[in-house]
Amino acid sequence: MQKKPQNEILEKIVSLAKRRGFVFQSSEIYGGLNGCWDYGPLGVELLKNIKEEWWKAMTFREDVEGLDASILMHPRVWEASGHVDSFTDPMIDCKSCKARFRLDVLGELINEKKKHKAVEELKLKFTDNPGWKDKFETVIQNAEKINGAVDEFSAAIEDSELNAILLSEVNCPQCGNKNTFTPARQFNLMFKTFIGPVEDSGAVVYLRPETAQGIFVNFLNVQSSARQKLPFGIAQIGKAFRNEINTKNFLFRTREFEQMEMQYFVNPVKDKEWYDYWKSERLNWFISLGMTKNKLRYHDHPVNKLAHYAKEATDIEYHFPFGWGEIEGIHNRTNFDLSRHEEFSGKSLKYFDEELKEKYIPYIIETSAGASRSFMAFLIDAYYEEEVNNEMRSVLKFHPKLAPIKAAILPLVNKDGMPEIARSIEKELRKRFKVFYDDKGAIGRRYRRMDEAGTPFSITVDTQTLSDQTVTIRERDSMNQIRISIDKISAYLNDIIFSD
RNA sequence: GCGGGAAUAGCUCAGCUGGUAGAGCGCAACCUUGCCAAGGUUGAUGUCGCGGGUUCGAGUCCCGUUUCCCGCUCCA
């Protein structure tokens, strides 16, 4: 992969996104906010259409119910889910070789002698800093309580004050240099905030790092109120927040993003069957909306790399200009989540299976798509530069269902009553479609403007319209035109856009 | 978080060794029009990313900072 073309493509997309009103940088007039983006007039339509198609595909069926859970949830939810523990690993970097280490595993990379020596160095400093001695003893006691074994180094290195001395005494496991570590930094990937005006620890809540937990905790509410039997699913679209260490690649890694998740509850013995079903179903969804087939692939997670909750996992990846990137994950989450919520809430989340006459905690097959990532993939995938009559044409070949604007209405020239007819067509079409009226400049220029916005149809009122009430409809990708009578436009568009 | 590059009009970019900002495209108005961005006339727009410093004078030199891109790292 060469660097330059990649840059060019992504930068072209970013520039087009801004120029045409798909995506703007957040708080741009203040210099921007790292990794945050706003959706402009065309962007919000595209995003909304993606979500709408997803919603139809996932919930317009008997066995899936919708849900919109609150972003703020009880803090215990995130203890049960494992996010509180696993989102808070302190990290350090070696300034010399740029290696990064999790503080809690650094001890494993250093030999015992060195660790012992570092601890002794620390103890020597106690005379100057009496407070450290108390701290040290407390840390050791806590470590003893938790796992019995006392590795003084590993216990002390978790303390934000004591570890500074330890880190200055040990060499980097990778490059061997001494005194090259940055101070330990806490990477808490959950955004923390407070309920109510008092900012004390009892009031801490988190912005959800995934929408899934809102589904899990509502499992029985939805199941009983909708009178569902297993297998069935719960679908939800919503924002999630992760305080990522660094953002990257335009919309790909951002701190605020939107998920389209569906959690499917199944009998544990049927998990494989349903996992395979959703795996294929979800890939086909992207293809059905026009995404290039050979730019999509599965990336199956090897068993040893699976997340703590997963039994089987695959990513649907899109080939972005910067490489393959995940746009959706399909996971077999087993009964991990519901079991944990049972444990932490003390409420039973078991399901009574009428057929089998037994009670069990369902397994969950998760399909978790990134709305923002899908947006970016659909946008990039639709972008083409073509040569037409020795001129460059840039065009967004969105599937008509996703196109922000469905049709443009254009009077060929601004006279002879053409604008009036065009306006009346516009008024009629607006009842059903997002349309756009444009009478500025030459007709060719207007077509090209619509190409760049991804509008699939351009309806032109011309001289012939005046005598026989027909218009031309120009199709974006082929640039072919057909002639159709005015009263048939609406049905024609509807058939093409919403047919399967 | 580290390293590298970049930031000048809506977009793409020019602006030399410091001397009070330019082009093309786009945009707006009017005229013209007869189906694929190239007709005419007129017009608007920038505290040159932000903050300091050096200087008589900074888009230009120095320091800091923010944002974007690339590479590491991270991605529970």
User: What does the block give as tokens for A158?
Assistant: 């978790």
pLDDT at residue A278 in the model: 96
pLDDT at residue A27 in the model: 86
Nucleotide with C1' nearest the A309 CA: B76
Residue A440 C-alpha from the chain's centroid? 38
The model's confidence at residue A288, banded by pLDDT at 50, 70 and 90, is very high
In this structure, is the CB of residue A392 within 7 Å of any atom belonging to strand B?
yes
pLDDT at residue A201 in the model: 72
pLDDT at residue A3 in the model: 33
Q: How many Cα atoms occupy the beta-carbon half-sphere of A291 within 13 Å?
A: 24
Position with higher pLDDT, A497 vs A90:
A497
Position with higher pLDDT, A96 vs A465:
A465
CB contact at 8 A, A42 and A453? yes
In this structure, is the CB of residue A310 within 7 Å of any atom belonging to strand B?
no
The model's confidence at residue A1, banded by pLDDT at 50, 70 and 90, is very low
> Per-residue pLDDT averaged across A55-78, rounded?
94
C-beta pairs of A389-395 under 8 Å, 24+ apart in sequence: A393/A448, A393/A451, A394/A16, A394/A451, A394/A452, A395/A451, A395/A452, A395/A454, A395/A476, A395/A477
Strand B contact residues in chain A (133-172), C-beta within 7 Å: none
Position with higher pLDDT, A108 vs A494:
A494
Please report, rounded to whole angstroms, the spatial distance between the CA atom of protein residue A391 and the C1' atom of nucleotide B38.
Answer: 10
User: What does the block give as tokens for A84?
Assistant: 């509180």
Position with higher pLDDT, A121 vs A270:
A270
The model's confidence at residue A87, banded by pLDDT at 50, 70 and 90, is low
pLDDT at residue A379 in the model: 92
Please report, rounded to whole angstroms, the spatial distance between the CA atom of protein residue A11 and the C1' atom of nucleotide B23.
Answer: 22
Please report, rounded to whole angstroms, the spatial distance between the CA atom of protein residue A263 and the C1' atom of nucleotide B9.
Answer: 49
Please report, rounded to whole angstroms, the spatial distance between the CA atom of protein residue A249 and the C1' atom of nucleotide B9.
Answer: 26
Strand B contact residues in chain A (461-500), C-beta within 7 Å: 462-463, 472, 474, 479-481
Position with higher pLDDT, A4 vs A15:
A15
In this structure, is the CB of residue A88 within 7 Å of any atom belonging to strand B?
no
pLDDT at residue A214 in the model: 95
In this structure, is the CB of residue A255 within 7 Å of any atom belonging to strand B?
no
Provide the whole-model pTM. Answer: 0.84
In this structure, is the CB of residue A393 within 7 Å of any atom belonging to strand B?
yes
Residue A382, pLDDT > 60, answer: yes
Please report, rounded to whole angstroms, the spatial distance between the CA atom of protein residue A385 and the C1' atom of nucleotide B24.
Answer: 20
Please report, rounded to whole angstroms, the spatial distance between the CA atom of protein residue A223 and the C1' atom of nucleotide B35.
Answer: 57
Which residue places its CA closest to the C1' of nucleotide B71? A3
> Per-residue pLDDT averaged across A453-479, rounded?
93
pLDDT at residue A113 in the model: 72
pLDDT at residue A5 in the model: 47
User: What does the block give as tokens for A268?
Assistant: 């544990």
The model's confidence at residue A464, banded by pLDDT at 50, 70 and 90, is very high
Tens of pLDDT, residues A12-29: 888 888 888 899 888 888
Tens of pLDDT, residues A245-262: 778 888 888 889 999 999
Q: Rounded to the nearest 5°, which phi and psi values hold at A251?
A: -85, 0
| Chain B bases closer than 7 A to any CB of the protein | 1-3, 10-12, 26-29, 32-39, 49-50, 66-76
Please report, rounded to whole angstroms, the spatial distance between the CA atom of protein residue A413 and the C1' atom of nucleotide B41.
Answer: 20
Tens of pLDDT, residues A402-444: 999 999 999 998 888 899 999 999 999 999 999 999 988 889 8
Which residue places its CA closest to the C1' of nucleotide B10? A19
> SS3 letters for A146-172?
HHCCCCHHHHHHCCCCCHHHHHHHCEC
In this structure, is the CB of residue A186 within 7 Å of any atom belonging to strand B?
no
In this structure, is the CB of residue A323 within 7 Å of any atom belonging to strand B?
yes
Nearest to A457 by CA among A389, A500, A400, A414: A400
Residue A137 CB contacts under 8 Å (≥ 6 apart), including other chains:
none
pLDDT at residue A132 in the model: 74
CB contact at 8 A, A402 and A445? no
Residue A2, pLDDT > 60, answer: no
Lowest-pLDDT range of A88-97, A310-319, A471-480: A88-97
Quick one: A484 exposed, middle or buried, by C-beta within 10 A (0-12, 13-18, 19+)? middle
Residue A69, pLDDT > 90, answer: yes
In this structure, is the CB of residue A34 within 7 Å of any atom belonging to strand B?
yes
DSSP alpha helix (H) spans, A35-111: 41-59, 75-81, 83-86, 103-106
In this structure, is the CB of residue A284 within 7 Å of any atom belonging to strand B?
no
ipTM: 0.88
Which residue places its CA closest to the C1' of nucleotide B36? A444
In this structure, is the CB of residue A179 within 7 Å of any atom belonging to strand B?
no
Residue A6, pLDDT > 60, answer: no
> Per-residue pLDDT averaged across A71-93, rounded?
79
Which residue places its CA closest to the C1' of nucleotide B50? A31
